[in-house]
């Protein structure tokens, strides 16, 4: 269903002028830019401020994979940041979300046909987080907000895990705790995808996101649910708490990596964040 919605959205969302330029379709790119500028002028916006510096790009049909690999290695710190963020959020998100039904039935005695009522509020926290916190990544900044959301998610998970291990939570209060945690974690995960794309040259942005998603999900997204499933099967709250602590530690470690080596990309053109591969001197 989602793919159908995206298909129809693509019918009216314009193509990236940068992508068109690098693929030799300058006329189409210019038409899109002029249309956007006219739209803003009709809304009363002043576009008379000094323009950005001119750059010249060479057209290319594609970016060879060896060049992609060299670019990722050249920007090794950025690669480390993206891998850390994507792996931590994949473990954190998938380990908790995809095993929550097991926790409800195993430890709280919730009937299987009632699990959905606990997942709905969980999903609400996931939606509200990016909507409320998303703009702060542009106003406060990428690095501080990445560090804040990742650390907050990790610390809250550790606290909630302890309360769970002590048996001080009910199914309802556990769900409320997940809502609060994933309010921050969902914003953190959304920003991780953004970071994986915008901090690399524009020619490989999509491929960079795909690469880091594949590796992060392969490591964190597969191991997380598998490990938590095994721990839940033991019937030991303390064992599950250990799994939650591991997820919390990964999020906090990723926050430290982002705080140390993250790129302050807010309110900057992509060319200022990462030099295009097709830049012509």
Mean pLDDT of 148-153: 97
Give the pair of three-digit tokens for residue 154.
Answer: 């990790």
Grouping H, G, I as helix, E, B as strand and the rest as coil, residue 275 is: coil
More confident residue, 8 or 199: 199
- Residue 182 pLDDT > 90, yes or no? yes
Tell me the domain boundaries of the chain: 1-53, 65-261
| Inter-CA distances, 244 with 67, 165, 195, Å | 39, 10, 25
Q: What is the radius of gyration, based on Cα positions, of the chain?
A: 22
The confidence score (pLDDT) of residue 1 equals: 67
The CATH-assigned architecture of domain 65-261 is Up-down Bundle (1.20)
Using one digit for the tens of pLDDT, what is the confidence trace for 82-135? 999 999 999 998 888 889 989 999 999 999 889 889 988 888 888 999 999 999
* pLDDT, mean over the chain: 89
The residues pairing with 279 across neighbouring beta strands, listed in sequence order, are 57
- Residue 41 pLDDT > 90, yes or no? no
Q: Which residues contact 272 (CB under 8 A, 6 or more apart)?
A: none
Using pLDDT thresholds of 50, 70 and 90, give the confidence band for residue 17. Answer: confident
Report the distance separating Cα 149 and Cα 129, nearest Å.
10
Phi, psi dihedral angles at 57 (to 5 degrees): -115, 140
Name the residue with tokens 């693509």. Answer: 10
Report the distance separating Cα 175 and Cα 241, nearest Å.
16
The confidence score (pLDDT) of residue 18 equals: 83
Report the distance separating Cα 98 and Cα 228, nearest Å.
9
Using one digit for the tens of pLDDT, what is the confidence trace for 193-216? 889 888 998 888 888 998 999 998
The confidence score (pLDDT) of residue 50 equals: 67
**Residues 251 and 189: beta-carbon distance below 8 Å:** no
Using one digit for the tens of pLDDT, what is the confidence trace for 230-281? 999 999 999 999 999 999 999 999 999 999 999 998 988 888 888 888 777 6
Mean pLDDT of 216-223: 86
The DSSP letter of residue 217 is I
Mean pLDDT of 27-34: 88
Using pLDDT thresholds of 50, 70 and 90, give the confidence band for residue 49. Answer: confident
Residues found in the chain: 281
């Amino acid at each position: 269903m989602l793919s159908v919605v995206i298909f129809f959205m693509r019918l009216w969302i314009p193509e990236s002028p940068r992508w068109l330029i690098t693929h030799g379709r300058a006329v189409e790119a210019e038409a899109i830019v002029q249309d956007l500028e006219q739209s803003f002028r009709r809304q009363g916006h002043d576009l008379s401020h000094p323009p950005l510096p001119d750059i010249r790009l060479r057209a290319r049909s594609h970016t060879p994979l060896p060049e992609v690999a060299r670019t990722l290695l050249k920007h090794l710190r950025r690669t480390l940041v993206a891998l850390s963020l994507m792996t931590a959020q994949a473990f954190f998100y998938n380990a908790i979300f995809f095993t929550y039904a097991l926790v409800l039935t195993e430890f709280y005695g919730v009937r299987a046909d009632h699990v959905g009522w606990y997942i709905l509020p969980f999903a609400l926290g996931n939606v509200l987080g990016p909507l409320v916190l998303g703009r702060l990544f542009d106003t406060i900044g990428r690095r501080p907000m990445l560090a804040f959301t990742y650390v907050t998610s990790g610390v809250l998970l550790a606290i909630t895990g302890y309360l769970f291990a002590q048996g001080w939570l009910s199914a309802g209060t556990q769900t409320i705790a997940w809502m609060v945690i994933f309010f921050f974690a969902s914003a953190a995960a959304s920003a991780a995808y953004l970071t994986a794309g915008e901090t690399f040259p524009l020619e490989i942005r999509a491929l960079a996101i795909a690469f880091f998603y594949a590796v992060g999900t392969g490591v964190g997204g597969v191991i997380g649910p598998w490990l938590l499933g095994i721990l839940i099967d033991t019937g030991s709250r303390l064992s599950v708490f250990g799994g939650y602590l591991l997820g919390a530690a990964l999020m906090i470690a990723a926050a430290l990596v982002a705080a140390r080596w993250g790129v302050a990309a807010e309110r900057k053109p992509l060319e200022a964040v990462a030099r295009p591969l097709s830049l012509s001197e």
